[in-house]
Amino acid sequence: MKSMKKILSCVTALTLSAVMLSACGSDSSDGSEETSSEATASVASSSDAAAEENENAVDPNVPVNLDEGITDKMYNRALMNEGDTSRLAAAMKKAENGEEITVGVIGGSITQGSLASNQNNCYASKFFSWWSEKFPECSINTVNAGIGGTDSYLGVHRVDEQLLSQNPDVVIVEFSVNDTDKTMNKYSYDSLVRKILSAENNPAVILLFTTQEDGTSLQDVHKEIGFAYDLPMISYREAVYPEVAAGTLAWTDISPDNIHPNDIGHDMIGQLLGRYLDSVYENKDSADEPEAFTVEGVTNDYYKNARLVNASEITAVSSEGFEVGQNTVYSQFTDNWITTSGGTISFEVECQNLGIFFLKTTDGSSGTYEVYVDGQRKGLLEADFSGGWGNYGYPKQVVLAKDTEKHTVEIKPAEGSEDKGITILSLMIS
């Protein structure tokens, strides 16, 4: 909201300049009254926005009292867009009628619940609780598709199997900390959101923006998608970061590290979501009927048909040193290609875009592997994560193209890694 208001302020200044230049540089009066009127309206609108921003600005002399919960200012800053509420209202009416509904979340470790003292204290569980408490006579199914260390690029490839297969009525999308590439992740986030919105049962989508301690977040990129599709957008970043920056809230009170909320932080996210849902519930009967999603894409929707392909779905054309097995990190990703001491494996695939999802490990046993597509070296799979925070899956894009073609893909050790291992969790096809 803050950046939008800055834009409005700039527009105000430009508008005033244009009016002054018009008055000085033209003797014609044709249309001058209309132009002047439009300029006045623009200035008034911008002034209202600036006034609203000032009303919600942090008072550096008033510390945040966490015992009292989120303040009106925090909520107003966090609500970046109320959005089209028709799908949310429809889900609420369905639940109120006693029909079974499913609510889900997809994101990274924050959505997974990392560093909450227990699963019941994470924001996702608080979001689920709002529905069960508001509609006690309704059967509420829940799906938490949060996986630590993952971004929207992997998310768009796994969302069908791990979330949309459950036909959710409402979905929260949270990737603003794990998404870091302003170009690639804009593509993947757009396709992920579009894929959810395009599901046959018309699920409602809420965009949740989180933050690192220093304010780092890709919300400015993600909100472009949200505004384009008029989606509800709730920013935990805008609620807490201005307070942290002003010294009215200590980051250590809401997080034990530089990213993940503690129980208090998760509860604040839950409060923001609950307050927004309450407002939608109060006006649900006046909401429009939901419609199928037909809005033109913000990007080229590169990952429209993205999916993960594992060893149960495709057989390697050739393999030396690799075996099909199960990794020890994720239960969600099965039937992997694994080698512990070097080897080469190749596939034939037909796709427009291609990625390799592989495991990074901290024990020093993994090496660096090269990826060749149609004989051309396309990238490195750097699986050694010695000294890192833990083993995790990493998605590496190797092909992004305009057309679908057949490709030969070969994965083999780089120089110096001939005796090192790697786990290929799956191919990423779109």
Residue 238, token pair as written in the block: 């805008």
Q: What angle do CA 17, 21, 24 make, to 5 degrees?
A: 140
Instruction: Supply the mean pLDDT for the chain.
Output: 90
For residue 49, the model assigns a pLDDT of 56
The helix, strand and coil proportions of the chain, stated in percent and rounded to the nearest 5, come to 40, 25, 35
357 neighbors 154 (Cβ within 8 angstroms): yes
Residue 279, token pair as written in the block: 């407002």
Q: What are the tens digits of pLDDT across the range 320-347?
A: 999 999 999 999 999 999 999 999 999 9
DSSP output for 82-108: ----HHHHHHHHHHHTT--EEEEEEES
The C-alpha atoms of residue 379 and residue 374 are separated, in whole angstroms, by: 13
The C-alpha atoms of residue 412 and residue 418 are separated, in whole angstroms, by: 8
Going from the C-alpha of 228 to that of each of 8, 43, 387, the distances in angstroms are 17, 24, 42
Share of the chain above pLDDT 70, in %: 88
Which has the closest alpha carbon to 418: 324, 344, 336, 317? 344
| End-to-end alpha carbon distance in the chain | 34
DSSP output for 144-173: EEE-TT--HHHHHHHHHHHTGGG--SEEEE
In 2-155, DSSP assigns E strands to 79-81, 101-107, 140-146
376-382 and 422-429: which strand pairing? Answer: unpaired
Rg (CA), the chain: 25
Q: What are the tens digits of pLDDT across the range 166-206?
A: 999 999 999 999 999 999 999 999 999 999 999 999 999 99
**Amino acid identity, residue 109?**
S
**What is the pLDDT averaged over residues 373-398?**
96
DSSP 121: G
318 neighbors 117 (Cβ within 8 angstroms): no
| Phi, psi for residue 350 in degrees, rounded to 5 | -120, 120
Q: How far is CA 72 from the centre of its chain?
A: 25
Cβ count near 111 (within 10 Å) = 27
Q: What are the tens digits of pLDDT across the range 71-105?
A: 999 999 999 999 999 999 999 999 999 999 999 99
Query: Has residue 264 got a pLDDT over 50?
Result: yes
Q: How confident is the model at residue 51 (pLDDT cuts 50, 70, 90)?
A: low
For residue 27, the model assigns a pLDDT of 39
For residue 28, the model assigns a pLDDT of 37
Query: Has residue 53 got a pLDDT over 80?
Result: no
The sheet with strand 79-81 has its strands ordered as: 79-81, 233-235, 204-209, 170-174, 101-107, 140-146
For residue 149, the model assigns a pLDDT of 92
The C-alpha atoms of residue 4 and residue 10 are separated, in whole angstroms, by: 10
For residue 47, the model assigns a pLDDT of 53
- DSSP, collapsed to helix, strand or coil, labels residue 342 as coil
Strand partners of residue 81: 233
**Amino acid identity, residue 361?**
T
164 neighbors 195 (Cβ within 8 angstroms): yes
- 12 or 402, higher pLDDT: 402
